[in-house]
Amino acid sequence: MKLTSGQRLVMIGDSITDCERRFPHGEGLFQGVGKGYVALVDTLLQTAYPELSIRVTNMGIGGNTVRDLEKRWQTDVLELAPDWLSIMIGINDVWRQFDQPTIPESHVPLEEYETKLERLARSVPAGLKGLVIMTPFYIEPNAADGMRRRMDEYGLAARRVAERVGALFVDTQAAFAPLLEHVHPTALASDRVHPNWTGHMLIARAFLRAIGFDWARMQ
């Protein structure tokens, strides 16, 4: 596993990351890390690797776009001095183009998204040991669907950024594909964006695979 003893993992993003986490810092007792994939990542790390005492901090905020992450990067990332950092952003950057089509100032164009994401990925704390970039997603198996097609464009932008900065890459959209061969999207998320525990487990599993989690330790 890529994380080592005593390291801090900060996970930043939007509502998918947030999931009712504690403020100002999402960590600690009584579901301080929230009720989503971050909580599952934390639980599995603590269960499989108790000797490492890995500290997981959830810094997601619902409704955020890459613009919002840029505004709070200093306080919510740099000042926390993480050893590892994961970024999952882009859903609202795309969604506002569809649920607020007449409010263009709320839309984040693809070029701006990619530019800002790369700028953030390069503005990491000194001594950062690892960076993980996760794609945005839309829980829809039809790749020709308008919002799914647009989300895939932003996912490809996230992949390009990860390649350019040398980050680990997690394709969360692809993580949903096997299950969507058997169930309707609304079985995972009524709005096809905010997943239930099954959806969050798919995201957590994809992240853990990227960092080399040894599933044999769960036996």
Phi-psi region of 167 (alpha: psi -120 to 50; beta: other; left: phi over 0): beta
Query: How far is Cα 12 from Cα 60, in angstroms, rounded to an integer?
Result: 5
Q: Tally Cβ neighbours within 10 Å of residue 4.
A: 12
Give the tokens for residue 82: 């993480």
- Residue pair 76/26 in contact (Cβ under 8 Å)? The answer is no
**Residue 18 appears among annotated catalytic residues:** no
**Which one from 15, 83, 86, 93 is the annotated catalytic residue?**
15
Element (H, E) at 57: strand 55-60
**Residue 15 appears among annotated catalytic residues:** yes
**Which one from 25, 68, 106, 194 is the annotated catalytic residue?**
194
Residue 3 identity: L
Q: Which of 158, 153, 157, 151 is nearest to 137 (CA)?
A: 151
- Residue pair 169/210 in contact (Cβ under 8 Å)? The answer is yes
**Residue 200 appears among annotated catalytic residues:** no
**Which one from 99, 190, 191, 214 is the annotated catalytic residue?**
191
Q: Which residues are the active-site residues?
A: 15, 191, 194
